[in-house]
Structure 1
Amino acid sequence: MAQAAGTGLPRDSVEEAGAVGGAGTGKTGGGAGAGTISSAAAAAGLAGMLGWLLLGDLGIAMRDRAALPSALELLRVAGASDTATSLLLSTVPALLSMFVVPVVGWHSDRYQGRLGRRRPFLLVAAPAGCIALIGLACSPALGAAAHDLLGDWSPGARICRLAAFGLFWTVFDCAALCALSLFTGLVNDVVPFGWLGRFYALFRIVGLGAGIAFHTWVFALTDHYLAEILACTGAVFGGCIVAMCVGVREPPAPAAPAVSATAGRGLPRQFMTRPILWAIAMFVCAAITFNPFNTFYQFFAHASAVPKATLGMLTAIGYAVSIGSAFAIGWLVDRCGAMRISAIVIAVYCVVAALGTLLVDDAASFQAVYLCHVIVSGAWWTAAASMPMALFPRERFVQFNATKDFAVVSASILVGILQGPLLDLSGHDYRLTLGCGAVFSALCLLCLARLRALPQAVPST
């Protein structure tokens, strides 16, 4: 029988902790005492597992909450164009990760070892990401050294610095995306299904709390301590994930039918069914909805004359609102279904993005739209976080999820190739990023409606 992570309890006991506690009150003598002890032990095991997973989630959150804003600032200071920013920050890393992440997921699903299916791979991704961020912190100096070393053969100091940035950011992004995919698989393995919405709400709170701390106290310091901030971010990323791997115990891998060596590396069986394809389309549209604005929001703010301190304060306020609403959204997801709540949120975002496209023309209007973007997009990620667990089979979850990520990354690469040159040609009209968000949020809503209408769709979503 599978065991819950961090405990010696069967997974079913953790899932039924509330039922055991309730049943115990109706028994007498030793039966009542046993029921109470079992319920308390299950609750304690669940709490311990949650603590370790939250620590790991803090490390995972470093990519979006600290590393990405710092990397954007590094590119802005280096004078990178919109095209170079899009290529270096999203397109090239995504191109490599679209091959790396599915391969890691395939091996993780089939791995049988003393440490489980996920932790051995996480223990490789964590130090790799840490070292890459430390290298990124040193990339300006390394680029300058390469320029001096090449002499007349050098393409220029700026190109060398950008090349060093691209190398280290690509390694970090591949490691971080692999860690995220493996962490999602670990959560799917050890967390009771009925608790996923609330667990992911807590994960969001941890990540948003890290974002608030970064944008309130650290972001303004990037003018003078950018290298130190990147190095510390790498240490937190690697240290938290390794600590989680030490503290969490994985359950035994579920039994799966034997597959041939040649068939195993293709698309997962059932991947081409209509519900899965509509789900993939929905995830792709959601990623494209937020990607352009999230890539260029700092450039947009700078063009709108919004001070860095104000941008950091707005981000912190938006994250604080998201923290306040995260658990309520998670509770609604567990009660009403992730698809229903996600559809409401993405419809609201469609309105926000459309209004932003038409109305943003100064600092005040940018600040209003940016704050709404942070709050509503955060609500989407909270509401939609548990959807893959409901839509994909548990025994091959990471492979299905990684294949979904392959499709999402492919679309992101296409967007990354197009968005930079289009913004350069438009004279840096960053309202186009909001227009893209409005169009693809409407398409995402259409996919959700179609998915819910299919009789084969998973009812729990």
Structure 2
Amino acid sequence: MHGMPGVAPRQRWFSAGLLAVYVLLLLGGLGWSLKERAIPDLFKVQLRQFSDNPVLLNSLLGALPALISMLAGPLIGAWSDRTRSALGRHIPFLLACAPLIALSLVGLAYSHTLGVLLWQLSGAVPDEQNYFVLACMCVCWTSYSLFTIIGNALFIGLINDLVPHAIIGRFFGVLRIVSLAVGVLFFYYYFGNELTEVAQSIVLTIAALYLLCFLLVCYGIVRLRARGVVHEAARQALDAAGVAQGGADGWTYTLLFLSIAMGAICVLPANINSYHAIGQFAVDFRAYGRATAAGYSVSILLAWPIGWLADRYHPVRIGFAAMLVYACCMLAAWWLVTGPTSYLIWLFVHVVVAGVFLTGTASLLPLTLPRQQFSSLAALSAALTALLTVFFSILLGYLLGRNGHDYRLVFLAAGLVALAGAGCWYRLLRALRRR
């Protein structure tokens, strides 16, 4: 495992080849952000019209993607690492995933129409129409989850191949700014009580823009590779990073993967169950969207400084501090949230602190895993995260059902998991210091 990042010659960070690569990767980040920021929330709005079952909600948005990641991630990651082609090792997979993701989104946009059509063809009784719609939604969401998990992992692998590690924290900071800006626009301008009326058109627009962005990214990288620019950019990225291709002992990798898993699952309760929570606390959809947009706006201001701190002091230190603060905040929210105003305040805190954690640790795996085995080892990390997510999501859904759908429980669950996660991050920090 690599230690703290060294200081690289500045001129290598901003050569003409690397600048062209940065622009293309940020274009891919724009398409990725449109999908990641809006689609889960649009799906939750759509799902809520047909089911308020917390077990189904947590299974579809938590356990299902985790199972897919656990089963498909390591296989695709190893396959990608071993691939040698004229298009590189990641581009062929990204070219395959992009249209499949777009097609899944089109199916999701028309799932109600498809469900009603299947219900009419089946001759089922009227009371069963919603089951057909739900079935179509689940099939399209499963397809979307499968290809988006694979595509996201490969996109991170492409970034890892081409961005110098000496500035990769700041690059992820800029990528987060793009992502958060998309989130601000969506939650501020489109997220309101009339969202169900425009959800279909938004999903179709995102499908088209995502496909266009990634086709342009793949075309641009291939063209730069044909001109020798990408090869030179990759060489400069390796030189600037000053990275040895060494490994680490099994215990350090276990701590690394467990720490990342705890950080990923601690934010799930508040994210997945937000729409049910705003119903309990009588929060207006428009107010929820404005509070989320405000949190993203603050995160935009923090993204570059946090990325710089990660480059300067290492992501593990940022992760430990942010996880500890997040645990304290969520436990306080469990005690203090009683109505719409208090819920919106602590939602804002959740968005900001979780954003600091995600920005500060985004470069951790690229910094610590060997480049040639990055996709394989990152997939193993995702598999452990997936295993814990499956268990945690189903357990949380069951507990919410048992306690009468009191969604203050999500803050308690997030705080306890984050507290345990802070312990993992502290142990990881000590292990890295010893190395």
Both structures adopt the same fold (TM-score exceeding 0.5): yes
- Aligned match of 1:157 in 104, 129, 136? 129
Report the counterpart of residue 228 of structure 1 in structure 2. Answer: 201
Q: Which residue of 2 aligns with 1:413?
A: 390
Residue 115 of structure 1 aligns to a residue whose secondary structure is coil
Q: Which deviations, in whole Å up to 9, do the C-alpha atoms of 1:255-310 show, x marking residues without a partner?
A: xxxxxxxxxxxxxx968711100011101111121111110112111221111111
Match of 2:242 in 1: none
* Preserved CA contact (<8 Å) 2:70 2:386: yes
Among 327, 341, 344, the alignment partner of 1:350 is 327
Which residue number corresponds to residue 69 of structure 2?
A: 97
Report the equivalent of 1:73.
45
Q: How does 1:324-343 map to 2 (within 5 A)?
A: 324-343=301-320
8 Å contact from structure 2 (residues 102, 208) kept in 1:
yes
Structure 2 residue ranges without an equivalent (≥5): 1-6, 236-245
Q: In 2, distance between residues paired with 1:184 and 1:415? A: 25
| C-alpha distance in 2 between matches for 1:357 and 1:303 | 14
- CA, structure 1 residues 150+364, in 2 after alignment: closer, same or farther (shift >3 Å)? same
Which of 284, 303, 317 in structure 1 is aligned with 2:294? 317
Note the C-alpha offset of 1:183.
Answer: 0.8
Cα shift at 1:348: 1.1
1:243 aligns with 2:216: yes
The question of 1:204 aligning with 2:164 is answered: no
Is this contact kept in 2: 1:208–1:323, CA < 8 A? yes
Whether the 8 Å CA contact 1:330–1:382 is kept in 2: the answer is yes
The aligned counterpart of 1:185 is: 157
- Which residue is 2:20 aligned to? 48
Deviations 1:106-126 (A, max 9, x none): 111000001101111001111
CA distance in 2, matches of 1:75, 1:319: 24
The one-letter amino acid of 1:403's match is: L
Bigger shift: residues 62-71 or 269-278: 269-278
Please give the alpha-carbon distance, in whole angstroms, between the structure 1 residues aligned to 2:127 and 2:372.
50
Separation of aligned partners in 2, 1:48 and 1:403: 31
Q: Distance in 2 between matches of 1:118 and 1:422?
A: 41
Moved over 6 A (4+): 269-272
Which structure has the larger Rg? 1
- Whole-angstrom distance in 1 between the partners of 2:391 and 2:336: 27
8 A contact 1:322–1:375 mirrored in 2: yes
Q: What code does the residue aligned with 1:210 have?
A: V
Identity of aligned residues (%): 30
Residue 262 of structure 1 is matched in structure 2 by none
Q: In 1, distance between residues paired with 2:134 and 2:277?
A: 21
Conserved? CA contact 1:205–1:323, under 8 Å: yes
> CA separation in 2, counterparts of 1:367 and 1:455?
38
- Matched residue, 1:18: 10
What amino acid does structure 2 have at the position aligned with 1:311?
A: Y
Q: Are residues 456 and 342 of structure 1, via their aligned partners in 2, closer, same or farther at CA, if it must alter by over 3 Å?
A: closer
Letter in 2 for 1:443: A
Summarize deviations over 1:298-357 as a string: whole Å, max 9, x none.
211122111111111111111110000100000111111111112111111111101011
Q: 1:251 to 1:417 in 2, by over 3 A?
A: farther
Where do 1:138-177 residues align within 5 Å?
A: 138-152=110-124, 156-177=128-149
For 1:352, what is the secondary structure of its paired residue? helix
2:257 corresponds to which residue? 280
Normalised TM-score (structure 1): 0.85
SS where residue 454 of structure 1 aligns? helix
Counterparts of 2:359 and 2:213, CA distance in 1:
22
**Structure 2 length normalisation: TM-score?**
0.90
- Residues 188, 426 of structure 1: CA spacing in aligned structure 2 closer, same or farther, 3 A cutoff? same
What residue identity is the alignment partner of 1:302?
G
CA change 1:89–1:155 in 2 (3 A) is: farther
C-alpha separation between the residues in 1 aligned to 2:175 and 2:130? 39
* One-letter identity of the residue aligned with 2:185: A
- Matched residue type, 1:247: G
Relative contact order: is structure 1 or structure 2 higher (C-alpha 8 Å, sep ≥ 6)?
A: 2
2:270 to 276, 281, 293: 293
CA distance in 2, matches of 1:153, 1:317: 46
The CA distance in 1 between the partners of 2:248 and 2:394, in whole Å, is 27
The number of residues matched between the two structures is 410
